[in-house]
Amino acid sequence: MPLPEESVLLRIFLGESDRLGHQPLHEAIVLQARAAGLAGATVTRGSAGFGASSHLHTAKIMRLSDDLPLIIEIVDAEEKINAFLPQLKEIIGGGLVTLEKVRVIHYEHGHPTV
């Protein structure tokens, strides 16, 4: 299904050690987004960051943090994202959630042909 050109970007900032029961929270969010029929989700791992606690989380050569920052990005129609937000609020603990308008230029399944 195509995405509308005027869509929204849901961005969720959390830590790698955040959990929902025994499952990593970022995995639970991605699975719930998929079950909700959202267009897609991407999880990006940061090399350093801090949040509301101001505690610095960083990956260094001598010591790899087990709580690096993660960002989950989901783009879809505003109505679909808004319908997903109550599910997200039920499972997210700490972190930051943002929403912004985006213009979708291209969204298509497949590989380029040469």
The vertex-5 CA angle with 13 and 78, nearest 5°, equals 50
Asked whether 113 and 13 are in contact (CB, 8 A), the reply is no
**Backbone φ, ψ for residue 28 (5° rounding):** -60, -40
Residue 39 CB neighbour total at 10 angstroms: 18
pLDDT tens for each residue of 38-94? 999 999 998 777 777 766 666 664 455 567 899 999 999 999 999 999 999 999 988
How far is Cα of residue 22 from the mean position of the Cα atoms in its chain? 19
Task: Report the first-to-last Cα separation within the chain, whole angstroms.
Answer: 25
- H-helix or E-strand spanning residue 30: helix 25-35
pLDDT tens for each residue of 17-31? 999 999 999 999 999
What is the CATH T-level fold of the domain 6-103, as seen in this structure? Answer: Alpha-Beta Plaits (3.30.70)
pTM of the model: 0.85
Q: Kindly report the average pLDDT of the chain as a whole number.
A: 88
Q: Could you tell me where the DSSP H helices lie in 37-106?
A: 78-91
